[in-house]
Every structure is written in structure tokens, then in C-alpha cells.
């Protein structure tokens, strides 16, 4: 159960700032990398329309994986915790068999995250008063490579979305 709940918690941490810049575009036959409306996990982040604009998200390669840091302005912490709890509830329902994975729509990001977890990546999550920290690591070089590729894809997609937001006329 802890592992599935961690999937929900980590999904919120990795996808957190995607809504700041919009939703990634999908090619034919693939899910958007970030899908804040269609992904069962990520859509919880949009319940408070101001939440995403009041969060930061950073991730850094480390020797055997990635360290991600999410911060939320204190006045939006309640919304963040509510979104995180809703995501964890989905994880608990999956773990208990109340719902099956085929009934849970996921964006490309969350699908890739699940793949990394199934490959045996070690996941650690620390909730702090100022930030949440997620550490994804492995002793297996092929898993480390996948973790780092996942993090790079997140950085690339977010950079594209940030650039699009800067050039978008309001």
C-alpha cells in the first residue's frame, strides 16, 4: 500500500508546476505529457485555480537518480494538501482493488512514473514545513538512466510550456 500511495504523492510533486504553463501537447496515439484535465491524479491540482501559480517545482540529477523539491506558498498549503490527499486516495483504491489501473486515466508523465516504479526505483518522500522533497534512486544503471530521462523530459516539457506562456498574448 505504501508504494501505491507514494505513486500518488510523487505524481503531485513531479507534475505540480505543469499547470503554471499549460498542458503539454500529445502526438498521435499518445497521452499529453502533462494533462491537468484528463489525468485522474493530476486533475486534483486544478480544484483550486490559484494553487499552481503559487507553487514552485525543481528537480536535480544526483549520482543515482533525481531529487525533486516542491514548495507551496503558506496560504495555499491547504489546497495543496487537499490535492495530494485526493491523489493518495486514488492510490489507495488501486492498491485495495477498489478500482483497476485500466479505469484510471493517466497522462504521459504519470504513466512514465509508474513504469519507473515498476522497474524497481527506490522512492523516498519527505514532507517538510517549507517544502516537500522526493528522491528517486536505483542501484541499477538502466533504472538510473530511465529516472534521469524522465526528469529531463519533465524539464524539457516545462521549459516549452514556460516559453509558450511568455510568448502568449493575454
Please tell me the predicted confidence (pLDDT) of residue 52: 86
CA distance 151 to 170: 30
Q: How many CA atoms within 13 Å lie on the side-chain side of 54? A: 15
Domain ranges of the chain: 2-167
What is the pTM for the complete model shown? 0.78
167 CB-near residues (< 8 Å, 6+ apart): none
Residues sharing a CB contact under 8 Å with residue 128, sequence separation 6 or more, in sequence order: none
Which grid cell is 86? 485526493
Q: What is the pLDDT of residue 170?
A: 54
Q: What is the pLDDT of residues 30-66, one digit of tens each?
A: 568 989 899 999 999 999 999 988 988 888 999 999 9
Q: Which DSSP helix (H) or strand (E) runs through 137? A: strand 132-137
As a whole number of angstroms, the distance between CA 11 and CA 88 comes to 10
* Per-residue pLDDT tens over the stretch 106-133: 999 988 988 998 899 999 999 988 899 9
Amino acid at each position: 500500500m505504501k508504494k501505491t500511495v507514494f505513486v500518488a504523492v510523487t505524481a503531485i510533486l513531479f507534475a505540480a508546476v505543469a499547470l503554471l504553463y499549460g498542458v503539454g501537447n500529445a502526438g498521435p496515439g499518445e497521452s499529453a505529457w502533462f494533462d491537468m484535465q484528463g489525468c485522474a491524479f493530476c486533475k486534483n491540482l486544478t480544484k483550486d485555480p490559484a494553487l499552481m501559480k503559487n507553487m514552485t517545482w525543481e528537480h536535480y540529477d544526483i549520482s543515482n537518480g533525481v531529487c525533486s523539491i516542491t514548495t507551496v506558498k503558506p496560504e495555499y498549503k491547504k489546497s495543496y494538501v487537499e490535492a495530494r490527499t485526493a491523489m493518495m486516495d486514488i492510490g489507495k483504491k488501486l492498491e485495495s482493488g477498489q478500482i483497476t489501473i485500466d479505469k484510471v486515466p493517466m497522462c504521459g508523465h504519470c504513466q512514465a512514473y509508474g513504469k519507473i516504479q515498476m522497474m524497481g526505483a527506490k522512492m523516498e518522500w519527505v514532507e517538510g514545513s517549507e517544502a516537500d522533497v522526493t528522491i528517486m534512486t536505483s542501484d541499477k544503471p538502466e533504472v538510473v538512466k530511465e529516472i534521469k530521462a524522465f526528469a529531463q523530459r519533465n524539464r524539457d516539457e516545462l521549459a516549452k510550456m514556460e516559453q509558450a506562456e511568455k510568448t502568449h498574448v493575454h
